[in-house]
């Protein structure tokens, strides 16, 4: 019984708002970590040439690989959307539960705004990259880094990389050395 009272007292001191903020930070941290695991490969992201292309499928030409690619792109988009929706929901609860003049409120609004800007940038990049013939495409923008996953039957050459990096730079200002292009 004494332990239960101690736990209640601990949670009472920390406060509901602080737990919500902590949860939001942990959720966003988990999203960043998952994006890092899925899309970041530092050994292959060294510039404009062929170096920043990652081979993601051994036999991208056969029908089974093509079906797997379609499933991959659908799953990646769905996962990205779910993660963002959860982050936005948590940030919106922080906005609702905090005073408008507090730092937490401003930080949550800033986080929502940043997510919205990244979503718009990613949609623009995906549309433009697909218009260049790399369809389907999934773009993930995270701070000053971008990962682009494209479906392409053959090896990407320097010109393909340059086109994709140019699109990313024009839409986000992210330098080519911070762009990872993954061929699925």
Topology of domain 2-183, CATH: Helix Hairpins (1.10.287)
| Integer CA distances (angstroms), 153 to 40, 59, 110, 116, in order | 21, 9, 40, 32
pLDDT over threshold 80, residue 77: yes
Do residues 127 and 143 touch, judged by C-beta distance below 8 A? no
Confidence at 3, pLDDT banded by 50, 70, 90: low
pLDDT of 9 strictly over 70? no
Q: Using 50, 70 and 90 to split pLDDT, how confident is the model at 176?
A: very high
Mean pLDDT of 103-125: 87
SS3 per residue for 11-63: HHHHCHHHHHHHHHHHHHHHHHHHHHHHHCCHHHCCCCCHHHEEECCCCCCCH
What separation in angstroms does the CA of 75 have from each of 68, 70, 78, 98?
10, 9, 5, 35
Q: Tell me the percentage of the chain whose pLDDT exceeds 70.
A: 72
The whole-model pTM stands at 0.59
Segment 127-168, tens digit of pLDDT: 999 998 888 889 999 889 999 998 877 788 888 889 999 999
- pLDDT band per the 50, 70, 90 thresholds, residue 11: low
Q: Please report, for the chain, the start and end positions of each structural domain, with discontinuous segments joined by +.
A: 2-183
Q: How confident is the model at residue 58 (pLDDT cuts 50, 70, 90)?
A: very low
Q: Examine the pLDDT at 64 and tell me if it is beyond 50.
A: no
């Amino acid at each position: 019984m004494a332990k239960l009272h101690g736990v209640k007292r601990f949670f009472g001191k920390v406060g509901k708002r602080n737990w919500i903020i902590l949860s939001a930070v942990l959720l966003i941290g988990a999203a960043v970590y998952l994006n890092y695991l899925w899309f970041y490969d530092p050994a292959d992201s060294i510039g404009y040439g062929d170096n920043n292309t990652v081979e993601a499928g051994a036999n991208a030409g056969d029908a089974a690989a093509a079906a797997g690619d379609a499933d991959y792109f659908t799953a990646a988009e769905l996962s990205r959307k779910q993660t963002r929706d959860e982050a936005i929901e948590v940030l919106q609860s922080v906005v609702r539960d905090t005073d408008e003049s507090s730092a937490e409120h401003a930080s949550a609004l800033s986080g929502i705004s940043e997510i919205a800007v990244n979503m718009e940038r990613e949609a623009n990049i995906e549309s433009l990259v697909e218009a260049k013939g790399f369809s389907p495409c999934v773009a993930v923008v995270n701070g000053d880094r971008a990962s682009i996953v494209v479906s392409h039957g053959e090896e990407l050459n320097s010109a393909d990389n340059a086109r994709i990096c140019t699109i990313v730079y024009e839409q986000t200002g992210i330098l080519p050395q911070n762009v990872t292009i993954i061929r699925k």
